[in-house]
Amino acid sequence: MKIKFKQDLVGGIVFLIVSLVIWFMMPSQIKINTTDAINSQSFPRVIIGLMMVCSIYLIIVQVIKIIKKIPVKEVEIDLKQEGKCILMIGMIAAYWLMLHFLTFMAASLIFAGAILLFFKCKNWKYYGVVFTSIIVITLVFQNLLGVKLP
């Protein structure tokens, strides 16, 4: 299945939403300890305000082009192909979760094996190199360098 959309219009809308979310989240994320006019929120607010203005401008320009029937840039996304990217992001998120419940070595070995399977790697030497690298790196960091891994 393929989806077609107007690139600049959707981009303007997405970044307007992102800038509004950041704008309203800022007071809870950056605390103000002073009553000065210029404080720790000033510069981020200027940047986010600029992002809002540019997003609104982009939306207005694209709507005017659509009304005047001027061609606008369209993009087509193949969901089958993009689904693989989403699955990959899901695998990275699963690895992050595994790091909370398993040792670094166990989670990394599972993740590396899953990635090699995902890319349909059939050469057993790749598995050996990757698994050996994970084990050696873990042992070096924990035992020789004294670094506590997650």
What six digits make up the tokens of 109?
A: 């070995």
Considering only CA atoms, which of 33, 28, 26, 30 is closest in space to residue 49?
26
Interval 14-67: pLDDT, tens: 999 999 999 999 988 888 877 777 888 889 999 999 999 999 999 999 999 999
Domain ranges of the chain: 2-72, 80-144
Mean pLDDT value of segment 93-111 = 96
pLDDT computed for residue 6 by the predictor: 92
Whether 133 contacts 126, CB under 8 Å: no
Lowest mean pLDDT among 57-71, 76-90, 102-116, 122-136: 76-90
Rounded Cα–Cα distance for residues 17 and 20 (Å): 5
What pairs with residue 74 in β-bridges? 6
Task: Assess whether pLDDT exceeds 80 at residue 134.
Answer: yes
Rounded Cα–Cα distance for residues 89 and 91 (Å): 5
pTM exceeds cut of 0.75 = no
